[in-house]
Amino acid sequence: MPELPEVETIVRGLEPVLRGRRIVAVDVREPRLRTAIAPDFAARLTGRRIAGMSRHGKFILLALDHGGIWLVHLGMTGRVTLGAPERTARPHDHVVVRLDDGRVLTYNDPRRFGRLAVIAADATAAETAAGIDALSPALTADFLHARSRRHGRTTVKSLLMDQREIAGLGNIYVNEILFRAGVRPRRRAGRLTRAECARLAAATRSILGAAIARGGSSISDYRDGFERSGSYQRRHQVYDRAGEPCRRCGGPVRGCVVTGRSTFYCARCQR
């Protein structure tokens, strides 16, 4: 569910509130996520102060005062929300963290595809297996062109969604980026021109920036750290619009499946 703009929105909202707070209690109610929460998770968090909060790709990274990192990945349906002390428990509240100001940070995840762990700071790269962040200045036409030659036989859509190369893009935003860049999802990466790579890099920045400015896309589950919805779903040009008219040329938006994921594009606007 949450891709880079949603995770960024959560981090921007919660960071100023969480920075400096001490964790006074951790209640793991359901450790059975796709990767189980480690038995010592609560012990490694309790008593720690949150030094800062950041994001890499779709990972939330909370720096702890003992040098460790509290890693959060939201999977498809994960939510991290800050609530009042008296907040009542809801279904799928798997972890409840009490802070020194009395407020509670809750991890809720119906499908349990997310991940929570406390890791050593120097293990972050290995644990996230993540490439450059999609908003990094390192995402240039040259970078994309080089990677497209290295993975020449895959589709451009697969390449953009490969977290080991570019971290943060998921199915919604890749569909939107490809539309903006005028590139069809099934194009072979190795046949992208340098100009197309430049358009993809520029489209990535503009789409992600616009999505962050609107608090991300709330299709059904996503809410930010204060349970607010985003509004960027209203700006989607192609995602989930199969059969509807292209907002640019009026032609039909096509729906298909690429590497197992629902895919949307305009055959006239994308080549």
Partner DNA sequence: ATGATCTCCTGAGCGC
Partner DNA sequence: TGCGCTCAGGAGATCA
Binding site for DNA (CB under 7 A): 1-3, 6, 32, 34, 57-58, 73, 75-76, 91-92, 110-113, 129, 150-155, 158, 161, 163, 170-172, 217-222, 258-262
Among residues 207, 1, 49, 26, the alpha carbon closest in space to that of 107 is found at 26
Shortest distance (Å) from residue 26 CB to DNA: 22
Q: Which two tokens stand for residue 68?
A: 């460790």
Structure tokens at 233: 């779903």
Q: Which of 3, 6, 165, 176 is catalytic?
A: 3
Supply the minimum distance, in Å, between the C-beta of residue 49 and DNA: 28
Active-site residue, from 49, 87, 261, 268 = 261
Residue 2 among the catalytic residues = yes
Closer residue to DNA in complex, CB, 57/225:
57
Annotated catalytic residue: which of 2, 5, 48, 241?
A: 2
From 5, 8, 48, 58, active-site residue:
58
- Tokens representing 252? 């039909």
Beta bridge partners of 254: 265
Read off the amino acid at residue 141: A
Q: Which is nearer to DNA, 206 or 262 (CB)?
A: 262
Between 29 and 150, name the residue whose CB sits nearer to DNA.
150
Catalytic residue flag (residue 244): no
What's the min distance (Å) between Cβ of 133 and DNA? 12
Residue carrying structure tokens 């962050």: 212
In the complex, minimum distance from the CB of residue 104 to DNA, in angstroms, rounded to a whole number: 21
126-131's contacts with Cβ under 8 Å and 24+ in sequence apart are 127/71, 128/56, 128/57, 128/59, 128/71, 128/167, 129/163, 129/164, 130/56, 130/57, 130/59, 130/163, 130/164, 130/167, 131/57, 131/162, 131/163, 131/164, 131/165, 131/166, 131/167
Q: Nearer Cβ to DNA, position 100 or 244?
A: 244
Catalytic residues: 2-3, 58, 261
